[in-house]
Amino acid sequence: MKNNILIIGFGDLAERLESYLLQKDNSIFGLTRSPEKYKGSNLLYWDWNLGTEFESSSQYF
């Protein structure tokens, strides 16, 4: 069964964790304030300081 995993605060540590989780047939979504800095598969820009809610096409994490 493929899992959807949401990583809030995708950074250096999450980038390493993602490579391990992808080997286990998972789908990774990462929230970051600097998506241009990382090479994640499904990175989304979101900053909780903006006061907006996070919205995603997938609702199952």
- The pLDDT, as a whole number, for residue 17 is 92
Beta strands in the chain (DSSP E): 3-8, 26-32, 43-45
Residue 58 lies in a domain: no
Distance of alpha carbon 61 from alpha carbon 58, whole angstroms: 8
Residue 57 lies in a domain: no
Confidence class of residue 43 from pLDDT cuts 50, 70 and 90? confident
Residue 12 lies in a domain: yes
Tell me the pLDDT tens digit for each residue of 9-18.
898 899 899 9
Confidence class of residue 35 from pLDDT cuts 50, 70 and 90? confident
- Number of domains within the chain: 1
Which structural domain, as residue segments, surrounds residue 28? 3-50
* Site of tokens 């080997």: 23
Distance of alpha carbon 12 from alpha carbon 6, whole angstroms: 15
- Counting Cβ atoms within 10 Å, is residue 40 exposed (0-12), middle (13-18) or buried (19+)? buried
